[in-house]
Amino acid sequence: MIETPILSVSEISLSLKTCVEQVFAHVKVRGEISDVKRATSGHIYFSLKDKDAVLSAICWRGRAPATNQAIQEGLEVVCTGKLSTYPGRSNYQMIVETAEPAGIGALLKLLNERREKLAKEGLFDESHKQPIPFLPTTIGVITSPTGAVIRDIIHRLTDRFPRHVLVWPVAVQGTECAEQVAAAIKGFNDLPPNFPRPDVLIVARGGGSLEDLWGFNEECVVRAVYDSKIPVISAVGHETDTTLIDYVSDLRAPTPTGAAEKAVPLRSDLLRKTQDSGGRLRSGLVRFIQEKQLKIQSLVRALPNLTDIIPLFIQRLDDVSARMDRTFGYLMRQNLEKVSALGRLLNSYSYQNVLKRGFALVSAGKQILSSAVQTQDHSHLTLTFADGKVDVTPLKAKKTSSPCYTQADLFQK
């Protein structure tokens, strides 16, 4: 009889751990998430359950952000990883490497919850959307470099209006899709000034299932589009496909080819519109000139003949000149008569004519004396008559109340 070896608790725990990890090194488990606990260390502890059992699970810090975002309370997921044991509590648990929503229903539930959350934050508001430039110089395209999408976009741009295209290659599905698309949007916005910075960005991929397009529903992509200073056109999937990037982008195109059509105008339409505008401009200019010519002709017909107008004004000028001559002669005669009358009046008032009537002018030097009192202050006087001057010496009058001279005294030399 073989004796059963005696093992320590640690030894049996280690044996169980090794056995479980070897047998269940890679498993996929489907269940509903519950009891989610996010530790300060960054690890996520939760449980996977169905109607009959519960499985403890842990997601270590540093796993893909898409995995962390899929771990939400009440969401049914498919987790990929391995089983292990935790000797400290004598229980087993699943080490989760990836977690994806299980089925369309779970994805739609997660999508609706995320859309409502981002909408409440205002990321989908129309007021934040930027206008798409009419004719961009450079267009940035974020898509797979090997798919048919980029060829369709370049082909349609070449047909409509050739532009310079910068392609940022990214994965358009899978766990790396969201991070690469978000990094590409930020990378285009952070290009140095000396680099041809795009005027508009196109985020594009072809059609696919909801799982294939899930990368464009991730929160990091939505926030990258919201923060972009360059206008973004979303062209993900077919016309019936809708992702969260469509709500936050500045313009949604039904297909990648439609995005190229919305990014640039049709060159032939612009040429036709330019020709039509030029034709209308020329026609308008011709009509304008013709209207002005008609107005000038009407004015010319309304104007009288200059050969008829000039003689009329010459005749008026002659009449005015003759009236001026008559008026001037009349005024001259009147003024001459007035001057002659004033001259005679002035001559009659002159002191020479007064002297001729027997009066004399008494003066002392340059001073003319008009009273006897003034003679007391002068020793020599001059008497001016009509026919000459006589110098006299006045006699001193007696001191009376007023000076009194005789005729003999006045004329004594």
Element (H, E) at 164: strand 164-169
Strand locations in 113-162 (E): 138-143
C-alpha distances out from residue 267 to 125, 132, 151, 158, Å: 33, 17, 20, 10
Q: Which CATH superfamily is domain 9-103 in?
A: Nucleic acid-binding proteins (2.40.50.140)
Position 312 scores a pLDDT of: 79
> For residue 138, which of 279, 263, 227 has the smallest C-alpha distance?
263
How far is C-alpha 335 from the chain's CA centre? Answer: 79
Position 123 scores a pLDDT of: 94
C-alpha distances out from residue 206 to 152, 167, 185, Å: 10, 16, 19
CATH of domain 137-265: 3.40.50.261
Q: Which residues of the chain have pLDDT under 50?
A: 397-402, 404-408, 410-413
Position 238 scores a pLDDT of: 84
Q: pLDDT digits over 141-164, tens only?
A: 999 998 899 999 999 999 999 999
Q: Is residue 90 left, alpha or beta, with left meaning phi > 0 and alpha meaning psi from -120 to 50?
A: left
Do residues 203 and 234 lie in contact, with contact meaning Cβ atoms separated by under 8 Å?
yes
Position 398 scores a pLDDT of: 46
Position 68 scores a pLDDT of: 67
404 secondary structure, DSSP code: -
Radius of gyration over every alpha carbon of the chain, rounded to an integer in angstroms: 61
Which pairing describes strands 251-252 and 232-236: parallel, antiparallel, or unpaired?
parallel
Please give the full DSSP string across 229-274, using - where no structure is assigned.
SS-EEEEES-TT---HHHHHSSEE-SSHHHHHHHHS--HHHHHHHH
Half-sphere exposure of 224 (CA within 13 A, CB side): 25
> For residue 97, which of 62, 72, 73 has the smallest C-alpha distance?
62
Which pairing describes strands 200-205 and 138-143: parallel, antiparallel, or unpaired?
parallel
Position 399 scores a pLDDT of: 46
Position 285 scores a pLDDT of: 93
> Which residues, 6 or more positions from 298, have their beta carbon under 8 angstroms from its beta carbon?
none
